[in-house]
């Protein structure tokens, strides 16, 4: 076996701890912002949805590069792995920098287009928060690229240590800028910008250490290798489209909720924060899946790839059940920290309970298992399934479930009038569809036939 259980634990434990740290600090971040009122936390929530969608553009390149590096390590081509690492860093940071410039100058019309009905104080918080978050994109891309390379090498402890430092800087910055200088949402964004800049600088220095199996040499001397870039894009672009459309769909449902008032926005924001906590085991396992399954595929060990895909998906279920149980037991106490109104608090509690039950049954197969497909270069199937399921079920059904009536081409169609909770019900229908098709794909084995070595790529 390419990985012993000890190897898996050695990689997985820092990843899980990093996820816990990231989500926990994210919750603390939201709590700190909530001290400035519901308008501030609602503005941050609206931007976080847009931010996530935009970040997915360069994160897709990071994931594509991680797969290529993993497969190169599996085939024992260390030179290719190192070359891919450098191409990955430059490609991701370049795309992130271009995106940052666009968002800085277009943030106001973008937010006005997406959320035309939000209150003025919510929009003001959103615009100021988005300015500084956009400026942090290049640093986030650099940090993500370096962290992915450390994970592929099986050294996730380095990323954990840097993440601890970044989050300490973030929380300290929040305390100073929000509580002392009363900067609200802008203060939280500036703290995020500083923490990402420091963390990415440290990781860039560490990834140049030649003691690592994969390192970046002559970092300021770069020459594009289009064969490698094409291999990264072949995996990254479909993954990026999938992730981007997924988050754009979430953005549309967020826009739908934003039309229902500040109380609904705040309730949904808190519920999403706790839902993210439930995703924590799967996100950690997904990162591990790329390293493990990617290396198996590169080594032409298809039986081992199948074995590890099932093992890690099963491990996600076990971890998820523990997190879901804790969420259910302590949800009201956690919600109470956010200073929500009684109506917002009750609505948020309903959303959290519904999500917890659905996630415990469906989420690992719907989202962790297909990561093994991507690690095996089977990206088009997951793209097709995700796009169809997102637009047909999560987006379209959200309007049907939420609203009393929907106007389509001059015709008025009756809806179910469930309110904001309808978005979460539509989400669960999306999950059922994904789970069904991904299980079929896994067991028929077609996902194991899509790998193509870089030597087979034609230069652009």
Ramachandran angles phi, psi of 33, nearest 5°: -65, -35
Q: Which of 25-34, 74-83, 291-300 has the lowest mean pLDDT?
A: 25-34
Q: Tell me 457's DSSP state.
A: S
Is residue 460's pLDDT more than 50?
A: no
- For residue 232, the tally of other CB atoms under 10 A from its CB is 26
pLDDT at 51: 79
Q: Which residue has the higher pLDDT, 241 or 53?
A: 241
Cα 159 from Cα 147, distance rounded (Å): 5
- For residue 220, the tally of other CB atoms under 10 A from its CB is 4
Q: Which of 28-42, 116-130, 374-388 has the lowest mean pLDDT?
A: 28-42
pLDDT at 445: 94
Nearest residue to 41 (alpha-carbon basis) of 115, 126, 111:
126
pLDDT at 459: 47
The tokens describing 173, both together, are 């910055």
Nearest residue to 283 (alpha-carbon basis) of 94, 144, 439:
144
Cα 178 from Cα 173, distance rounded (Å): 8
Do the beta carbons of residue 375 and residue 290 sit within 8 Å?
yes
Is residue 82's pLDDT more than 50?
A: yes
Q: pLDDT tens digit string along 329-376?
A: 888 887 887 777 788 888 888 888 899 999 999 999 999 999 999 999
CA angle centred on 101, ends 149 and 90, rounded to 5°? 25
Cα 117 from Cα 254, distance rounded (Å): 12
The tokens describing 275, both together, are 């839902």
pLDDT at 431: 95
Cα 252 from Cα 414, distance rounded (Å): 20
pLDDT at 383: 92
> What CA–CA distances, in Å, run from 91 to 56, 98, 221?
14, 11, 14
Nearest residue to 233 (alpha-carbon basis) of 410, 60, 416:
60
pLDDT at 228: 92
Q: Which residue has the higher pLDDT, 283 or 389?
A: 389
Do the beta carbons of residue 234 and residue 178 sit within 8 Å?
no
Nearest residue to 170 (alpha-carbon basis) of 345, 47, 350, 24:
24
Q: Which residue has the higher pLDDT, 158 or 23?
A: 158
Helix (H) or strand (E) holding 408: strand 405-408
- The rounded percent of the chain whose pLDDT value lies above 70 is 96
Cα 120 from Cα 127, distance rounded (Å): 11
Cα 244 from Cα 195, distance rounded (Å): 25
Q: Which residue has the higher pLDDT, 313 or 407?
A: 313
Cα dihedral angle (291, 297, 298, 299), rounded to 10 degrees? 110
| Paired strand residues for 414 | 405
Highest mean pLDDT among 32-46, 136-150, 232-246 belongs to 136-150
Is residue 436's pLDDT more than 50?
A: yes
Cα 91 from Cα 234, distance rounded (Å): 14
pLDDT at 458: 55
At 413, is the secondary structure helix, strand, or coil?
strand
In this prediction, residue 418 has a pLDDT band, given cuts at 50, 70 and 90, of confident
Is residue 203's pLDDT more than 90?
A: yes
Mean pLDDT score of the chain, rounded to an integer?
Answer: 87
Is residue 103's pLDDT more than 90?
A: yes
pLDDT at 57: 81
Is residue 457's pLDDT more than 60?
A: no
> What CA–CA distances, in Å, run from 341 to 262, 266, 274?
10, 9, 18
Cα 325 from Cα 263, distance rounded (Å): 26
CA angle centred on 435, ends 72 and 6, rounded to 5°? 45
- The rounded percent of the chain whose pLDDT value lies above 90 is 47
Q: What is the mean pLDDT of residues 165-181?
A: 91
Q: What is the mean pLDDT of residues 85-110?
A: 94
Q: Tell me 183's DSSP state.
A: -
Is residue 289's pLDDT more than 70?
A: yes
Please state whether the predicted TM-score (pTM) of the whole model is above 0.85.
Answer: no
Is residue 309's pLDDT more than 70?
A: yes
> What CA–CA distances, in Å, run from 133 to 48, 174, 181, 184, 400?
9, 14, 19, 14, 33
Cα 189 from Cα 134, distance rounded (Å): 9
CA angle centred on 386, ends 365 and 56, rounded to 5°? 100
pLDDT at 401: 85
The tokens describing 180, both together, are 């002392």
Is residue 192's pLDDT more than 80?
A: yes
Is residue 10's pLDDT more than 50?
A: yes
Q: Which residue has the higher pLDDT, 210 or 278?
A: 210
The tokens describing 130, both together, are 């988005």
Q: What's the 3-state SS for 214-280?
A: CCCCCCCCCCCCHHHHHHHHHHHHHHHHHHHHHHHHHHHHHHHHHCCCHHHHHHHHHHHHHHHHHHH
Cα 92 from Cα 71, distance rounded (Å): 19
Is residue 145's pLDDT more than 60?
A: yes
Is residue 5's pLDDT more than 50?
A: yes
């Amino acid at each position: 076996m390419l990985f012993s259980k000890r190897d898996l634990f050695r990689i997985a434990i820092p990843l899980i701890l990093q996820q816990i740290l990231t989500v926990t600090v994210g919750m603390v971040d939201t709590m700190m912002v909530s001290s400035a009122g519901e308008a501030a936390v609602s503005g941050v929530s609206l931007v976080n949805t847009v931010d996530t969608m935009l970040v997915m553009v360069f994160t897709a390149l990071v994931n594509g590069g991680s797969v290529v590096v993993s497969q190169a390590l599996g085939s024992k081509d260390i030179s290719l792995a190192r070359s891919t690492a450098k191409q990955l860093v430059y490609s991701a940071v370049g795309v992130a920098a271009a995106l940052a410039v666009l968002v800085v100058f277009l943030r106001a019309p973008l937010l006005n287009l997406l959320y035309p009905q939000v209150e003025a104080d919510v929009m003001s918080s959103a615009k100021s928060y988005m300015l500084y978050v956009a400026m942090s994109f290049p640093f986030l891309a650099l940090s993500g690229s370096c962290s992915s390379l450390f994970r592929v090498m099986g050294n996730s402890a380095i990323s954990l240590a840097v993440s601890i430092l970044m989050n300490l800087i973030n929380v300290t910055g929040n305390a100073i800028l929000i509580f002392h200088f009363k900067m609200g949402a802008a203060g939280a964004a500036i703290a995020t910008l500083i923490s990402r800049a420091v963390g990415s600088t440290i990781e860039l220095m560490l990834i140049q250490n030649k003691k690592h199996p994969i390192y970046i040499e002559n970092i300021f001397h770069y020459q594009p290798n289009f064969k490698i870039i094409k291999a990264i894009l072949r995996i990254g672009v479909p993954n990026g489209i999938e992730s981007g459309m997924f988050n754009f769909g979430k953005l549309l449902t967020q826009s739908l909720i934003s039309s229902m008032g500040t109380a609904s926005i705040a309730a949904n924001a808190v519920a999403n924060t706790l839902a993210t906590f439930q995703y924590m085991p799967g996100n950690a396992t997904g990162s591990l899946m790329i390293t493990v399954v990617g290396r198996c595929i590169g080594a032409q060990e298809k039986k081992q790839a199948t074995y590890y895909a099932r093992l890690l998906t099963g491990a996600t279920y076990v971890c998820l059940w523990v997190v879901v149980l804790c969420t259910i037991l302590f949800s009201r106490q956690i919600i109470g920290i956010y200073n929500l109104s009684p109506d917002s608090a009750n609505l948020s509690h309903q959303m959290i309970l519904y999500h917890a039950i659905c996630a415990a049954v469906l989420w690992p197969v719907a989202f962790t298992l297909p990561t093994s497909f991507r690690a095996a270069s089977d990206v088009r199937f997951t793209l097709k399934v995700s796009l169809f399921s997102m637009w047909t079920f999560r987006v379209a059904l959200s309007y049907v479930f939420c609203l009393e009536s929907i106007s389509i081409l001059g015709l008025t169609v009756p809806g179910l009038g469930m309110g904001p909770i309808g978005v979460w019900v539509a989400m669960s229908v999306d999950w059922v569809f994904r789970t069904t098709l991904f299980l079929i794909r896994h067991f028929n084995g077609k996902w194991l036939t899509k790998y193509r070595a870089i030597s087979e790529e034609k230069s652009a």
